Amino acid sequence: MPDLIFSDPRLARIYDLFDEPRDDLALYTGIADELGASSVLDVGCGTGSLAVLLASSGRSVVGVDPALASLEIARAKDSRVTWIHGDATSLPALEVDLATMTGNVAQVFLGDDWELTLRGIHDALRPGGHFVFETRRPEARAWESWAATAPRVLDGVEERFELLDVHLPFVSFRHIYRFPDGSVLTSDSTLRFRSREEVAGSLVACGFEVVDVRDAPDRPGREFVFVARK
């Protein structure tokens, strides 16, 4: 089940407000250009930021997400994208050139659902198609900086962050939102931090060839960017 930060309509409406600017997306549009991808599947598309960018360049784009509240925000942004409520394990027949997962999407899969998702993405790609995604380097210990995150207030909404538990490979945390009317909503999340070797091994086991592992230019030394081929 998606975390409330994505699935609660009130939180979905303010997600982009607190998530911008999306400097990370230039990496994906650049790789799409590099690979000559004319069709793209964005897995865990959320409120649609990357899918809309890709569609604006004339590509055929499918965005899939299990959080209906986020998907409704995405649908209102661009009707050129095919928006699907679901996940990578329940897609219609596709043969796209490229599949993507941005942000923390690759890390929300905590167990066997990771390989099930990889196999679903593999099935959605054309032969020779590529899969590009990012995942945080465990050795960068991102949660240490998260614990020091100061509260923010945007458009009258206060966002606070709490680190709940670090029991590697799992890290749990909480977002707390206080609205101008005094109401408070919280959303708890857990991410799995996989090593480079673990990620590469799971890709190979699911029918991919790892062709490159890059750095994220907007977060040097903090992310692995995997480029895999079916």
For residue 32, give the nearest of 110, 109, 131 by alpha carbon.
131
Per residue of the chain (230 residues), what is the pLDDT tens digit? 899 999 999 999 999 999 988 999 999 999 999 999 999 999 999 999 999 999 999 999 999 999 999 999 999 999 999 999 999 999 999 999 999 999 999 999 999 999 999 999 999 999 999 999 999 999 999 999 988 889 999 999 999 999 999 999 999 999 999 999 999 999 999 999 999 999 999 999 999 999 999 999 989 999 999 999 99
Residue whose pair of structure tokens reads 């360049």 in the numeric block: 57
Residue 92: CB atoms within 10 A of its CB come to 10
pLDDT digits (tens, 9 = 90+) for 73-110: 999 999 999 999 999 999 999 999 999 999 999 999 99
Give the other-Cβ count within 10 Å of 65's Cβ: 26
Tally Cβ neighbours within 10 Å of residue 125: 23
pLDDT in the model for residue 148: 87
**Confidence at residue 21, expressed as pLDDT on a 0 to 100 scale:** 87
The whole-angstrom separation of Cα 63 and Cα 87 is 10
Q: Kindly report each contact of residues 80-88 with a partner whose C-beta sits within 8 Å and lies 24 or more positions away, as own/partner.
A: 80/55, 81/48, 81/51, 81/52, 81/55, 83/45, 83/48, 83/51, 87/43, 87/117, 87/120, 88/43, 88/64, 88/116, 88/117, 88/120, 88/121, 88/124
Q: In the predicted model, what is the mean pLDDT of the chain?
A: 96
Strand arrangement of the beta sheet that strand 152-154 belongs to: 152-154, 157-167, 170-178, 184-192
Are 4 and 187 contacting, i.e. CB atoms less than 8 angstroms apart? yes
CA distance 188 to 190: 7
- The predicted structure's pLDDT at residue 1: 80
